Amino acid sequence: MNHHGQEPAPGVPPAGENLEYRVAHLRDRIAGGPLGELGARLEVRGETVLLTGTVPSAHTRDEICDLVAAELAGHQVHCDITVADSSSPDHAEDLA
Amino acid sequence: MIRAAAVGDIHMAPETQGILRPAFETLPDCADLLLLAGDLTRHGTPEEARVVAREIQGLGVPVVAVLGNHDQHDDRPEEVTAILEDAGAQVLEGRSVVVDCGGERVGVAGTTGFGGGFVGRSAGEFGEPLMKEFVRYSRRCAESLRASLDQLAEQGCDLRIALTHYSPVPDTLAGEPLEIYPFLGSYLLAEAIDTAGADLAVHGHAHLGTENGMTNGGVRVRNVAQPVIGRAFHVYHLHARQPVGAAVAGGPT
């Protein structure tokens, strides 16, 4: 039986409301839009969206977290994005 | 012994101006040169390139760089290159440079490189024009790297370093999703490095990867993406190999 073009099965949200697809498109926007940030990962964990990765500044981290929270209002967004450490190294590696 | 500092993926923009400068100003104390492994800007705009230029200008050590995919996003890689070169950096694409480090001649061969994947799991030059061009472009980058390393050997460098943005090996991608490995590097780069020979290969691009790897030919590879090394840069001490026959020449006959 072909369900092409028909209403989704009972209990299945329309594709436009599907959290996984929304997160995938949001990730594309973060990577390709003004943020240009490929270092942030967005993953669906049940009803929560988890953000991880390392970005160059606290400003970028806040921009990403605010954007995701606004776009996915109603879902819990957990931001674990860290800011890159810009301190000098305390040792060198000897490649003897 | 030479001391090579390296970092990639610093993704600078106006709001990060000055973040790396304090650490970079310590370079003359701990390094002989600085290698920048691409993705120096966020979008590859001239404005962002000028931020990087101010960060690296007048550091007191030679700066050798390749661009990354971010540095090409605004379709003005030539402008980005010119701005960085005005600040004193050597920006390599399919060419090499020799740096004098306290009497030792260090050759750096550089290309951004490209993707395609690794042995047994790589894209092939087949099918749609876009797919064929994808693989051909990666092949051209690798070929230019091999030729540049060969040229450095002919010039008698004491040490040779291959500098790329994309990874030559899968080792340093560990931590990245397996599904995106073909977009993170290409075995063609490693094949070029092993064919021509090198003392170290440095790359960036894989933020979730790991620092240490090695080519099949035994060349050490270091992923210096800033999120991986967790510092403004890392420093590697490299030792020039004894010329073949040197020990015999000085020993008993």
Q: Which domains does chain B have, with CATH numbers?
A: 2-240 (3.60.21.10)
Q: What is the model's pLDDT at position B247?
A: 45
Return mean pLDDT, chain B. 95
- Work out the number of other CB atoms within 10 angstroms of the CB of residue B228: 26
Residue B182 is given by DSSP the state G
Question: What's the pLDDT band for A7 if we cut at 50, 70, 90?
Answer: low
Percent of all residues in chain A with a pLDDT value above 90, rounded to a whole number: 54
Decide if A84 and B43 are in contact by the 8 Å CB cutoff. Answer: no
Q: In the predicted model, is pLDDT for residue B170 greater than 80? A: yes
Question: What's the pLDDT band for B250 if we cut at 50, 70, 90?
Answer: very low
B226 close to A (CB below 8 A): yes
Q: What is the model's pLDDT at position B124?
A: 92
Q: In the predicted model, is pLDDT for residue B251 greater than 50? A: no
ipTM: 0.90
Q: What is the model's pLDDT at position A13?
A: 66
Indicate which of A88, A90, A94 best probes the interface with B, i.e. most B CBs within 10 Å of its own CB. A88
Write the pLDDT tens digit of every residue in B70-116: 999 999 999 999 999 999 999 999 999 999 998 999 999 999 999 99
Write the pLDDT tens digit of every residue in B132-150: 999 999 999 999 999 999 9
| A/B interface, count of CB pairs below 8 Å | 86
Decide if B235 and A87 are in contact by the 8 Å CB cutoff. Answer: no
Give strand ranges (E) for B51-173: 63-66, 90-91, 95-101, 104-111, 117-118, 121-122, 159-164
Question: What's the pLDDT band for A32 if we cut at 50, 70, 90?
Answer: confident
Write the pLDDT tens digit of every residue in A45-85: 988 999 999 999 999 999 999 999 999 988 999 999 999 99
Question: What's the pLDDT band for A38 if we cut at 50, 70, 90?
Answer: confident
Q: The whole model's pTM is what?
A: 0.92
Q: In the predicted model, is pLDDT for residue A4 greater than 90? A: no
Tokens of A41: 């990962």
Nearest-CA distance from A52 to chain B in Å? 10
Amino acid at B38: G
Contacts of A37 in chain B (CB under 8 A): 11, 42
Q: What is the model's pLDDT at position B242?
A: 65
Q: What is the model's pLDDT at position A35?
A: 82
B42 close to A (CB below 8 A): yes
Q: In the predicted model, is pLDDT for residue B246 greater than 70? A: no
Decide if A89 and B19 are in contact by the 8 Å CB cutoff. Answer: no
Q: Which fold has domain A15-83?
A: Alpha-Beta Plaits (3.30.70)
Decide if B227 and A92 are in contact by the 8 Å CB cutoff. Answer: no
Contacts of B235 in chain A (CB under 8 A): 89, 92-93
Q: What is the Cα–Cα distance from B160 to A19, expressed in whole angstroms?
A: 49
The arithmetic mean of pLDDT across residues B189-211, rounded, is 98
Q: Which residue has the higher pLDDT, A17 or B39?
A: B39
CB B2 within 8 A of CB B101: yes
Q: In the predicted model, is pLDDT for residue B38 greater than 60? A: yes
Contacts of B238 in chain A (CB under 8 A): 95
Q: What is the model's pLDDT at position B249?
A: 43
B235 close to A (CB below 8 A): yes
Contacts of B208 in chain A (CB under 8 A): 41, 53
Question: What's the pLDDT band for B60 if we cut at 50, 70, 90?
Answer: very high
Range A50-89 burial, b when 16+ CB lie within 10 A, else e: bbebbbbbeebbebbbebbeebbeebebebebeebebebb
A51 close to B (CB below 8 A): no
B21 close to A (CB below 8 A): no
Residue B125 is given by DSSP the state S
Contacts of B10 in chain A (CB under 8 A): 56, 84
The angle at the Cα of A58, spanning A55 to A62, to the nearest 5 degrees, equals 95
Decide if A89 and B42 are in contact by the 8 Å CB cutoff. Answer: no
Contacts of B13 in chain A (CB under 8 A): 56-57
Q: What is the model's pLDDT at position B67?
A: 98
Q: Which residue has the higher pLDDT, A71 or A16?
A: A71
Decide if B20 and A86 are in contact by the 8 Å CB cutoff. Answer: yes
